[in-house]
Amino acid sequence: MKKRIFSVLVLVMTALMLATTVNAAAYSTYTYSYNGFALQSPDAYVPERVVDMAYVGVEGVTDIRDLEVDDEGNMYIVDRGSNRVIVTNRYYKLKFIIDVFTNEYGVPDSFDAPSGVCVTDEYIYVCDTDNNRIVMFDRDGNYVKIVPKPTASYFGQGSLYRPIAVAVDSYKRLFVVSATTYQGIIVMDDKANFSGFIGAQKAVVSPLELFWRNFMTDEQKEQLDKNVSTEFNNIAIDDQNFIYVTTSSIDEQTLLNNMRNRVMTSDFAPVKKLNSSGNDVMARNGFWPPAGEVDVVEVSLANTPVGPSEIVDVAVGPEQTWSIIDDKRSKVYTYDSNGNLLFIFGDFGQKLGNIPAGSLRAIVYKDDEMILLDGNNSSFVVYKRTDYGDLLIEALRHQNQRIYDIAVDDWMNILQRNSNFDTAYIGIGDALSRDADYEEAMEYYEAAYNVSNYSNAFREVRKEWVSKWIWTIPLVIIVVCVLLSRFFKYAARVNKETQLKVGKKSFKEELLYGFHLIFHPFDGFWDLKHEQRGSVRAGIVYLVVTILVFFYQDIGTGYIFNPTGAYSGIFGQILSVGVPLILWVVANWCLTTLFDGEGSLKDIFIATTYSLLPVPMLVLPSVIFSNILAENEGQLITLLVGIAFAWAGLLIFFGMMVTHDYSLGKNILTSVGTIVGMAFIIFVAVLFSSLVARMVSFVSSIVVELTYRI
């Protein structure tokens, strides 16, 4: 009975000690930072002018939704509120208006809530949304024909068709975004011959919704489909017939998690680059996925927009660049062909060129200008490319044309203006790699946190190093293997001799016994307890070695596998290893005391610390390997660390089983109960730390009040 009461007291004392640690940590300050594109950079585009419809020469504009620019600089503006398309010349003066036209039956016709427009060398395509059709005109605004809803039977009988955006490739295929079609982008020709869907968004349907759909009528299912938010909202196409599509209907929490975890897959991506087969071929090689805002906040401060970007349009720019617009923040994000963020500009507010949040509708390129459509104010903002922007485009042009020597000079000039520009470092690194100057290239890749290219350059350096030391490497490997073999043989001989020794064991014998125990756990743990083959001091040594190895893992892991150089310090490693171990030992002892366990607190501590030996044995070489392995060879490191933890976990499990003389089933239940006990101790510690914090706050408030009154 006294032993059980004492175990409860130890449990409470452990919780109080842990509470002190938690309470102290509560007053620490942590600073989190991220690497990648520096938001403060020279302006690539600056606002040149704001053009309203009065300047254009048009009145009564209420709801403009889209705009397009042709190869002559003429601009086409969709005025949804007035059911018309306004066409200006390159100087933003009215050229003509398309509103009423005579169709092929000789009947006067008009638009009903048009939403999108596309212009090719020959035709103007207008998405006549509420009339469920696309209307074609020639470049002079003369009616050509109507492209109705797709006619193929597998398009879906009774499916709603409301085109809101369209793009046309060089083969005159139409790629249509329909507001009520969720299977993807509609592909058809100008005769409405349906070819299929491409680029369908990945959807997550809850099990509850799937269950209830089994009991719905066809009308209810159709109504449910109508309430689903639009999958895609806009589309653009480049000169190589690659299709860029955007969506703003992805769950915000999913986008937030993808951005923070740097998820580079196409699943739930707000912008995609599709080939003609509908496969996403977008390169996402930047530090962050190309999805808009990086520094996302979840709590609004001083009217700061909350959550990830809301992408509403995409435009293709010069030299394989492309831009997306964030309607939530009224910002433009521009990327290169590899998905590297080049620059950001725009904002909401009263400053010249700023657009109110929720009012940004569309974006287009025009020569060295970028034009943003302000829907609420019925105007558009013309941004002019700066010298810095020109230099950036020149660098990309020379790089795309494989004139790498000039491109390096361009990137160097850019770095003089923006020393935090990752793409410049990567561009210089690429040029150096092509010149086989891999070591210097690694320095530039490291500055940009470009792990993949750094790994490729490192592999070439390693290949050269291996060829230089081709005869030394096998010799070193043989020597290491021989030394390890001799050490284990020596340990085995010492352990065998100690087995027959009577009386107290030496410290060396206690330490070397761990190398017998990890390979013979059942006999090893039995002798550890009953033959006194181990000791607390040897267990502490193994614990300290484990902590030091983890600390070395923090500071010694190669750049490829720890590019940010993050580490928690020796104190952090002491907490991360020591606290769980103490919790396990105390919780297990308290629980097994109540359930007839034969092991004492000392026995549990010794068995647990001896079980840690495989961790430093395997983690240490994994850290060494991290400095000589390339990125695609990192599975070896993962394998070694995984084996180390699995091995140690099994040793702890069987160690408790032998120490307490439990059956397998009882040991499983006790282990689960120990984990629950650890959680209980943590709960008590947090509760106590909260109480201490309130007491400190209360006392400090009284002291402050007395100070003011005295």
Three-point CA angle 547, 550, 553, nearest 5°:
155
Domain 403-467 fold is: 1.25.40
Residue with tokens 């010492």, as numbered in its chain: 494
Q: How confident is the model at residue 231, as a pLDDT?
A: 77
Residue 213 has pLDDT above 70, yes or no: no
Percent of the chain exceeding pLDDT 70 equals 88
Packing angle, helices 387-400 and 422-434, rounded to 10 = 30
End-to-end CA distance of the chain: 54
Q: How confident is the model at residue 39, as a pLDDT?
A: 45
For 254: left if phi > 0, alpha if psi spans -120 to 50, otherwise beta; the answer is alpha
Q: How confident is the model at residue 33, as a pLDDT?
A: 31
| pLDDT band with cut points at 50, 70 and 90 for residue 249 | confident
- Name which of 219, 112, 237 is nearest 168 in CA terms: 237
Spatial distance between the Cα atoms of 134 and 147, rounded to a whole number of angstroms: 5
Q: How confident is the model at residue 266, as a pLDDT?
A: 86
Contact 510, 537 (CB under 8 A): yes
| pLDDT band with cut points at 50, 70 and 90 for residue 151 | confident
Q: How confident is the model at residue 98, as a pLDDT?
A: 96
Spatial distance between the Cα atoms of 110 and 84, rounded to a whole number of angstroms: 8
Please give the mean pLDDT across all residues of the chain: 86
Q: What is the pTM of this model?
A: 0.75
- Name which of 315, 331, 325, 340 is nearest 411 in CA terms: 340
Residue 13 has pLDDT above 50, yes or no: no
Residue 23 has pLDDT above 90, yes or no: no
- In the chain, the amino acid numbered 475 is L
The CA dihedral of 89, 90, 92, 98, to the nearest 10 degrees, is 30
| pLDDT band with cut points at 50, 70 and 90 for residue 28 | very low
Packing angle, helices 451-468 and 422-434, rounded to 10 = 30
Q: How confident is the model at residue 498, as a pLDDT?
A: 86
Q: Which residues are CB-contacts of 557 (< 8 A; sequence separation ≥ 6)?
A: 623, 626, 627
Q: How confident is the model at residue 9, as a pLDDT?
A: 41
**What is 45-385's CATH number, 2.120.10.30, 3.10.620.30, 2.40.50.100, 3.40.50.10210?**
2.120.10.30
Contact 411, 395 (CB under 8 A): yes
* Cα radius of gyration rounded to whole Å, the chain: 34
Contact 178, 166 (CB under 8 A): no
pLDDT tens for each residue of 136-149: 999 999 999 999 98
Give the mean pLDDT of 291-306.
72
| pLDDT band with cut points at 50, 70 and 90 for residue 540 | very high
Spatial distance between the Cα atoms of 611 and 592, rounded to a whole number of angstroms: 19
pLDDT tens for each residue of 453-511: 999 999 999 999 988 888 888 899 999 999 999 999 999 999 888 887 777 889 999 99
Contact 458, 630 (CB under 8 A): yes
Listing from the earlier edge strand, what are the strands of the sheet with 94-98? 64-69, 75-79, 84-88, 94-98
Spatial distance between the Cα atoms of 432 and 407, rounded to a whole number of angstroms: 11
**Domain residue ranges in the chain:** 45-385, 403-467, 501-692
Greater confidence, 224 or 523? 523
- Name which of 323, 337, 332, 339 is nearest 396 in CA terms: 337
Spatial distance between the Cα atoms of 675 and 679, rounded to a whole number of angstroms: 6
Packing angle, helices 664-709 and 569-594, rounded to 10 = 120
Spatial distance between the Cα atoms of 560 and 242, rounded to a whole number of angstroms: 33
Contact 705, 35 (CB under 8 A): no
| pLDDT band with cut points at 50, 70 and 90 for residue 285 | confident
Quick one: how far is CA 246 from the chain centroid? 18
pLDDT tens for each residue of 370-417: 999 998 888 999 999 999 999 999 999 999 998 888 999 999 999 999
pLDDT tens for each residue of 652-681: 999 999 999 999 999 999 999 999 999 998
Residue 16 has pLDDT above 50, yes or no: no
Alpha helices for 300-382 (secondary structure H): none
Spatial distance between the Cα atoms of 381 and 370, rounded to a whole number of angstroms: 8
Q: How confident is the model at residue 684, as a pLDDT?
A: 87
Percent of the chain exceeding pLDDT 90 equals 57
| pLDDT band with cut points at 50, 70 and 90 for residue 35 | very low
Spatial distance between the Cα atoms of 429 and 435, rounded to a whole number of angstroms: 10
For 205: left if phi > 0, alpha if psi spans -120 to 50, otherwise beta; the answer is beta
Contact 35, 564 (CB under 8 A): yes
Q: What does the DSSP assignment read for 358-415?
A: T-EEEEEEETTEEEEEETTTTEEEEEEE-HHHHHHHHHHHHHHTT-HHHHHHHHHHHH
Give the mean pLDDT of 244-257.
88
Q: How confident is the model at residue 346, as a pLDDT?
A: 87
Give the mean pLDDT of 316-328.
94
